[in-house]
């Protein structure tokens, strides 16, 4: 069994160890620039690395619009829940202040286009940012120039961060609306049948549905709007609203437009 060295032998060893540590500390660079030899060149990302980064930006841009799709579905569910309440109850419930009731009615009983609705102003701002990012990425999809790829990365990265911050604000606005709509609930209130299109509640619901993205641009096709609206209401009554893809579908449209225009220029 090993025995512990006597104290008079340990002191010199500890002194030498401290001396070595002190010497090592004294030899450390004083400034961060001294850690790298001045003759060494910083490593620059390759073309393939930049393309990987830009591909990641493309995926993040699509995910932002998919978040809008998700929020749109939540918004629609809130609207259908609101319209399933009797008109007299939602306009006269004492659980909310008259001003709040009026603002909610203005949001869900109006046919004001979303492009003119302040509630959706941030949504269209995200859409515009993603559109600009998408076109910037498409322009550099086949580019091998490092400087151009570096500029594209410098533009799209901060833009994505900006859009992500706006998305957080949109999420909060949806949560706020959910809180307000929950105050309309009452245990003894029976939901109305929204499939009855000529009732007051049914008429207002269909009026509000004309602001849906997929219906707003069919203003001259009243028959088609009515058919789509009835299909959506049937699913809403069953609580089976399909996942919305209105916002994310824009990426596909932009890519198709870009590829078509490029083909025409080459042709």
Quote the pTM value.
0.79
DSSP letters for 2-61: PPPPPHHHHHHHHHHHHHHHHHHHHTS-SSGGGGS-TTSPPP---HHHHHHHHHHHHHHH
Does 185 or 88 have the greater pLDDT score? 88
Kindly report, residue by residue over 90-129, the tens digit of the pLDDT: 998 888 899 999 999 999 999 999 999 999 999 999 999 9
pLDDT, tens digit, 9 for 90 and up, residues 34-49: 666 655 556 678 899 9
* Sign for the pseudo-dihedral over CA of 212, 215, 220, 222: negative
CB 244 within 8 A of CB 76: yes
Domain residue extents for the chain: 47-245
70: CB partners within 8 A, 6+ apart: 243, 244
């Amino acid at each position: 069994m090993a025995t512990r060295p006597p104290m008079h032998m340990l002191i010199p060893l500890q002194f030498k160890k401290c001396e070595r540590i002190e010497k090592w500390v004294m030899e450390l660079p004083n400034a961060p620039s001294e850690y790298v030899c001045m003759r060494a060149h910083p490593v620059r990302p390759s073309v393939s690395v930049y393309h990987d980064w830009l591909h990641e930006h493309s995926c993040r841009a699509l995910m932002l619009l998919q978040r809008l799709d998700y929020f749109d579905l939540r918004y629609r569910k809130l609207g259908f829940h609101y319209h399933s309440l009797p008109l007299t109850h939602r306009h006269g419930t004492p659980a909310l202040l008259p001003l709040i009731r009026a603002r909610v009615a203005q949001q869900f009983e109006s046919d004001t286009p979303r492009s003119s609705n302040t509630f959706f102003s941030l949504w269209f701002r995200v859409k515009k940012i993603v559109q600009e990012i998408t076109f910037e990425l498409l322009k550099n999809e086949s580019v091998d120039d490092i400087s151009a790829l570096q500029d594209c990365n410098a533009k799209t990265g901060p833009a994505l961060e900006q859009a992500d911050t706006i998305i957080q604000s949109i999420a909060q606005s949806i949560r706020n609306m959910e809180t307000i709509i929950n105050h309309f609930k009452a245990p003894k209130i029976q939901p109305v049948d929204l499939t009855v299109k000529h009732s007051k509640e049914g008429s207002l619901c269909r009026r509000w549905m004309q602001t849906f993205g997929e219906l707003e641009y069919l203003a001259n096709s009243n028959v088609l709007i009515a058919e789509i609206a009835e299909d959506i209401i049937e699913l809403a009554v069953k609580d089976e609203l399909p996942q919305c893809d209105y916002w994310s579908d824009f990426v596909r449209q932009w890519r198709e437009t870009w590829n078509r225009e490029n083909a025409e220029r080459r042709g």
